[in-house]
Structure 1
């Protein structure tokens, strides 16, 4: 996941959860958290216990998240956040808890006349390439449930669109032709196609490292005919460490009616 993808994800997460973005550039965000988001991601349980016990005025944190440390070049004080970092994982977990699925409608000016909104299914995926090293990527796809057109980087479209949980008056939203479950299957196939075309030399290299460490292990026990249990335990540990796996996880998604 590239820094710009992380940046876009943070923008969308904090905006949708009513956290005011105090300032930003292409490599950082300064955000005023709400009480709820502070409790979810800032690891301050004792502070919030004290506030609630004494009925004190809450003071949720204001945080600067640096999404591209190279661009900031040490000139900015804040928390560096990247894909795979503990804070990023907390944001993913908060997203799951706050609602893995939403249905939203684009806000439009009805003064222009009758407005028709088209249904899109949007899904954010996390793809993890796992062995003794891990590489993770975030993909955001949308599929038009009338035409079947698939759009990549769909989160950028949503971030640039003002949305509401209820449609405006005098706005007509078209019923989908492609069922959401079928749309999800097409998006799953699109993710699988990306994975199939990717460079998988990482798995081959992991297997070579596995074989190297297995030879070292076998060397220490080469004169032992009846291998002890510790040998089997170490052999199994090597398998778990180096065995190449690809995990596809849906972070969240929703049905979006767009103009």
Structure 2
């Protein structure tokens, strides 16, 4: 996830959640948080407990998020945010909680007369390659629920469009033929296909580091015939640290009726 993608994600998140953007350049956003978003991402539980207990006037935070540190000119104070940073992970969690599933209808000009909208299932996936190091990738897929056509980078396709919660009067939306659960299985398979074609040398390297540390551990206990409990604890810790795992997680998704 590149800095410009992080920047776009932040801007979309705060706009969708009614947080005023007070300042913006290519490399930063200054945002006035709402009470709800402050509670979700700013880690101030004691402050909010005090405010609610004393019925005081709330003062949600105003934050500058620096999305590209290489482009900073002059003295800019703020919080650096990038893919993999704890704050961005908090925003992913908040997104999942606030909008795990949506149904939206693309806005169309009423002057166009009767318009037919086609249903698409759009899903954003996070793929994590886990061992003693972690690499995370984001994938956005859409599938046409009439034809079964799969489109990559679906989020980028729809992010320039405007949507309503309800269809306009001049809109006829076609009912889907492919059930969303079946479509989700196909998108999941598309992500798995990408994973299969990816370079998995990271897992081999993790295995080598595991074997190296295991040899060191065995060296310290090589003269001990009956291994103590601490040996098993350390051996298990190495297994948990180095064992290679791939996790596929759905961040959010929805049915989008598109023109």
Provide the C-alpha distance between the structure 2 equivalents of 1:220 and 1:3, rounded to a whole number of angstroms: 46
Determine the structure 1 residue equivalent to 2:225.
225
CA RMSD of aligned residues (A): 1.8
Per-residue deviation, 1:214: 0.6
TM-score by length of 2: 0.92
- Is residue 27 of structure 2 the alignment partner of residue 27 of structure 1? yes
Deviates more, 1:15-24 or 1:193-202: 15-24
SS in 2 for 1:178: coil
Matches within 5 A, 1:229-248: 229-248=229-248
Per-residue deviation, 1:133: 0.6
Deviates more, 1:226-235 or 1:10-19: 10-19
Q: Where in structure 1 are there 5+ consecutive unaligned residues?
A: none
Determine the structure 1 residue equivalent to 2:12.
12
- Is residue 254 of structure 2 the alignment partner of residue 254 of structure 1? yes
Summarize the Cα distance change of 1:27–1:197 in structure 2 as closer, same or farther, 3 Å threshold.
farther
Q: Where in structure 2 are there 5+ consecutive unaligned residues?
A: none
SS in 2 for 1:48: helix
Could you list the per-position Cα deviations for residues 102-142 of structure 1 after superposition, in whole angstroms to 9, with x for gaps in the alignment?
11111221112111111111111111110001111111111
SS in 1 for 2:139: strand
Provide the C-alpha distance between the structure 1 equivalents of 2:151 and 2:12, rounded to a whole number of angstroms: 17
Provide the C-alpha distance between the structure 2 equivalents of 1:90 and 1:196, rounded to a whole number of angstroms: 29
Matches within 5 A, 1:187-226: 187-226=187-226
Determine the structure 1 residue equivalent to 2:89.
89
SS in 2 for 1:119: strand
Per-residue deviation, 1:43: 2.0
Provide the C-alpha distance between the structure 2 equivalents of 1:165 and 1:130, rounded to a whole number of angstroms: 38
